Amino acid sequence: MREGISVNTTSIPQQADIFPYFQPIISLQTKQIAGYEMLGRWKQNGHIQSLGPFFHPSGANEDDQIRLDRYLREQAIGQFAQYKDTDTRLFLNMRPSWIYRRWKEGRTYPTIEMLKRTGLAGERIVIEITEHAFEGEMAELTEMVRMYRAYGCLIAIDDVGSGFSYFDRIACLQPDIIKIDLKILKRSAVHRGYGALLRSFSIVASQLGASLLVEGVENESDLRQALSHGARYVQGFLFSQAKPQFEAPPTYADEIGQQIASYRADTQRFWERQMSRERRIEVQLTSVVYAHLERWKQASDSEQRDVDAWLARMTPSLPREVLRAYVCREDGEQLTANYVRQNQQNKVDQQNKVDQQHKVEQQNHQNQQNQGDQPEQRDQGDHWHRDTHVIGANWSWRPYFIPSVIRMKNTKQGLFSAPYMDLEGMTAIQTFCFPLDEHHFVFLDMESDDYRKGM
């Protein structure tokens, strides 16, 4: 964890003036304190300050940094060995270059030696490999980490996303915990690209069997972002700053319980709205496609195979949620132009109208029930643009395409894809697919709500 509190790095602290503080790490699974990250503190001129800047690569002489870091680590391990709650773990930051230096000098592991002296079990330690430059071979770093694992320690990769080499380290080290950098979390709340990156880390963690730890959680919005991206652990000022003492494991259980309950209720309401919207749209789209199936048979059986003209005749009947329509063969080749609703080009940012859209959807759903679920006609001012440059394109590389085709061929019913990012408009899209016959399928794209934006 990086800290930015100012400290004078031109002078070297005396050991008597530095000591470890401990910031709690909360498990969202148990609502208990799961561990503590050790953070160095310096008493200078009567004030307690962070040692973070001193340990910055440009902060001081590396030999002094290593010496004082080792002293702080030994103090922290000694204190933690006296802490009787054996379900909590101590998180220790380890710079790869420092581990490598001792390893090259004599294959020694000072932290393991400290654990042996205090009798603290390795299972109660998490080694955080920080995102700093490492000049050795990745195989050597993997070997060093393997020794800590053999002693029972868990491995975390810290500050993921802050440097260029974290994917290499994740792949090679296969950490038990992936710790997300604060900047990515903050940017994900306002920038869709960072949200996608954060979701990718969540997927990587689940594929590796690792847990996601989000640090820097300072308010409810941060916590909801962490929850929505699958964080198992959280850490930050929303709960506590670093302190000199340990706390009872359930200290924050009530607060966490209330936050999770509120998040769960809001998320449940969102998904209920989403499912209602999907059911309504599915009924409308199915009705429209069935109404044009007889013409489809004529078009697909004709010598000209006038599939494009068939789609052009159907588009005026599509509900206004549909932004784009096209037909593909089962092998993924697109047979028609893209028919794109013209007003798609003038859409405002969906995030600014989420609440209003939910109200409209609820009203539309009620109106639809009152009208016997008749398909909604397009607005009088709507026009469809025919984009021919995609004819002949193949979409079988899309992750959803082949599974969707197989499901449709087996169920003879339409289905929605999972949301994904549109290549052209860079908006979240969801596709409704429907089988026209055994070999042809119509695809109807519509904008997708992103539930994380509403949390």
**What string of H, E and C letters represents the secondary structure of 220-262?**
HHHHHHHHHCCCCEEECCCCCCCECCCCCCCCCHHHHHHHHHH
At residue 287, the pLDDT reads: 92
User: Cα-atom radius of gyration of the chain, to the nearest Å?
Assistant: 28
Comparing 141-155, 361-375, 384-398, 406-420, the range with the smallest average pLDDT is 361-375
Please report, rounded to a whole number, the percentage of residues in the chain having pLDDT higher than 70: 79
Assess contact for 160 and 169: CB atoms under 8 A: no
What's the average model confidence in pLDDT over 131-141? Answer: 75
Residue 300: pLDDT above 90?
A: no
At residue 162, the pLDDT reads: 57
CB atoms within 10 A of CB 174: 15
Q: At what angle do helices 110-118 and 138-150 cross, to 10 degrees?
A: 10
Residue 393: pLDDT above 70?
A: yes
At residue 342, the pLDDT reads: 83
Assess contact for 296 and 418: CB atoms under 8 A: no
Q: Model confidence at 137, in pLDDT bands (50, 70, 90)? A: confident
At residue 377, the pLDDT reads: 40
At residue 447, the pLDDT reads: 85
At residue 243, the pLDDT reads: 95
Q: Model confidence at 245, in pLDDT bands (50, 70, 90)? A: very high
Level-2 CATH architecture, domain 15-251: Alpha-Beta Barrel (3.20)
CB atoms within 10 A of CB 360: 11
Q: Which of 412, 390, 411, 409 is nearest to 401 (CA)?
A: 409
User: Distances from the Cα of 305 to the Cαs of 299, 325, 330, in angstroms?
Assistant: 5, 18, 16
Is the model more confident about 183 or about 177? Answer: 177
Assess contact for 273 and 362: CB atoms under 8 A: yes
Q: Topology of domain 286-454, per CATH? A: Beta-Lactamase (3.30.450)
Residue 315: pLDDT above 90?
A: yes
Q: What DSSP character marks residue 397?
A: T
Residues shown for the chain: 455
Q: Which of 313, 322, 262, 300 is nearest to 446 (CA)?
A: 322
Comparing 51-60, 264-273, 414-423, the range with the smallest average pLDDT is 51-60
At residue 6, the pLDDT reads: 47
Assess contact for 236 and 221: CB atoms under 8 A: no
At residue 450, the pLDDT reads: 58
Is the model more confident about 102 or about 368? Answer: 102
Is the model more confident about 357 or about 227? Answer: 227
Element (H, E) at 145: helix 138-150
What is the tens place of the pLDDT at every residue in 253-284? Answer: 999 999 999 999 999 999 999 899 889 999 99
- Assign residue 331 a region (left: φ > 0; alpha: ψ between -120 and 50; beta: otherwise): alpha
Whether the pTM exceeds 0.85: the reply is no
Q: What is the mean pLDDT of the chain?
A: 82
Residue 141: pLDDT above 60?
A: yes
Q: Which of 255, 235, 196, 261 is nearest to 419 (CA)?
A: 196
User: Distances from the Cα of 408 to the Cαs of 183, 403, 440, 445, in angstroms?
Assistant: 42, 9, 10, 17
At residue 182, the pLDDT reads: 65
Q: What DSSP character marks residue 2?
A: -
Comparing 7-11, 208-212, 405-409, 436-440, the range with the smallest average pLDDT is 7-11
Comparing 147-151, 208-212, 380-384, 435-439, the range with the smallest average pLDDT is 380-384
Where do the structural domains in the chain lie, given as residue ranges? 15-251, 286-454
Assess contact for 67 and 101: CB atoms under 8 A: no
Are 15-251 and 286-454 the same fold in CATH?
A: no
